[in-house]
Amino acid sequence: MKLSTDWYKRKTKQIQAGLEEEQIDGILLLDPFNIYYATGFFHQSTERPLGFYIPQYGDPCFYVPYLEKEMAEATWVKDVQYYFDFPGEPHVFKWMMEGLPGKYIGVDKLGIRDWNFIQTLNKHVKITDLVYTMRLAKDPEEIEILDTASIYADYMVEMTREAILNKMTETNAFHFARDETVKRMKKELGELTFVNQGLVNGAVLYGPHSAHPHGLMGDRLPENGNSIEAAFGALVYTYESESEHTFLYGEPSKQTISYFNAMYAAWKAGIDAAKPGVTCASVNEASLNAIREAGYEQFLRHRMGHGKGLQEHEAPWVEAGDFTILKPGMIISDEPGLYVPGYGGFRHSDTLVITETGCRRMTKYPRELETCILPIH
């Protein structure tokens, strides 16, 4: 299940092939997620920069703070250089740049101050999205990990259903679902990789709280007529899949059903539209139009979805401004929603993988109206 050392070495070779096409001598990766992707070195990211340099020819090199010494040396990367602490003397970026072989250097991510500083050291440095572009389409090994993560994201939804039926508060329902899911993950998968993201994340929001797409949980109890948002991500070896679900507590009113059906139609339209050869913008339009056509455009707050992988949110963006063409292996979320202030929110989310002919739901929790209604005992 865990990606092998050979996989990371192959990925580094693929990056080197891309460097030749971009006509740069090497690339310095500074984004922790790109470093995860190229090396498998999972670490806690802080203000201390960690660099991974891949030359066009030859072996790569780590540039790490001294506190990462033993962990970095345990990886497959043979050349590991250290600095004591940030910002260092000389400054850590000056130290890195002076040690890089090559003149024309690509960098994946820099803040403006660091960019300006590096430009004083080497005018031939440029920002490149080479690795971000490579990450758009996942390999079969990555898809297998995301399929596994999807099982646990769905399980969190199921555990939340149990918590709601037992009339737990928002916070307690989340904690119950989290703890039960992590317990199952450890039992079935063994030792797992904790990085900054943890193993699971999300929220449980009742009634009016669910009208906030990123609402904060509290001690609210479920009440008859509530729409309830159960939104979760689960991470297996730092690859995240998400499953989000709208429950209806008690017998729903006609108005609640109308809102739900508009959201459901948008969710289904997203699945139908997501296929290779179409743009993210067109998929977003097909999905959100279902809510507009139902007369609820004023309750839209966000796009249909976004990419999934090493990050909770990553490219591509399933939104009107992203004209990325979907290709097999790309992973996106399908999470259109409508949010009625003071009333409630309605959002399902599935993680989808683009296939040769369309898309496949990686998360499989039932989304139909009848499966979402929770009886009050």
Would you state the CATH architecture of domain 140-374?
Alpha-Beta Complex (3.90)
CA–CA distance, 340 with 213 (Å, rounded to integer): 10
Please write the tens of the pLDDT for every residue from 252-274.
Answer: 999 999 999 999 999 999 999 99
Cα 323 from chain centre: 19
Please write the tens of the pLDDT for every residue from 107-123.
Answer: 999 999 999 999 999 99
pLDDT reported for residue 196: 65
Element (H or E) spanning 79, and its range? strand 79-83
Please write the tens of the pLDDT for every residue from 306-324.
Answer: 999 999 999 999 999 999 9
Q: How many CA atoms lie within 13 A of 66 on its CB side?
A: 6
362 close to 237: Cβ distance less than 8 angstroms:
no
* pLDDT cut 90: percent of the chain above it: 92
Please write the tens of the pLDDT for every residue from 150-208.
Answer: 999 999 999 999 999 999 999 999 999 999 999 999 999 988 877 766 899 999 999 99
CA–CA distance, 332 with 348 (Å, rounded to integer): 14
pLDDT reported for residue 50: 95
pLDDT reported for residue 2: 86
pLDDT of 88 over the 70 cut: yes
Q: What are phi and psi of 321, to 5 degrees?
A: -95, 5
Please write the tens of the pLDDT for every residue from 359-376.
Answer: 999 999 999 999 999 999
In the chain, domain spans: 5-134, 140-374
pLDDT of 1 over the 80 cut: no
Q: What is the CATH number of domain 5-134?
A: 3.40.350.10
The reply to whether domains 5-134 and 140-374 share a CATH topology is: no
Residue 377: pLDDT band by 50, 70, 90 thresholds? confident
Q: What is the pTM of this model?
A: 0.96
312 close to 201: Cβ distance less than 8 angstroms:
yes
367 close to 267: Cβ distance less than 8 angstroms:
yes
Distances (CA, A) of 48 to 20, 26, 31, 137: 30, 22, 12, 30
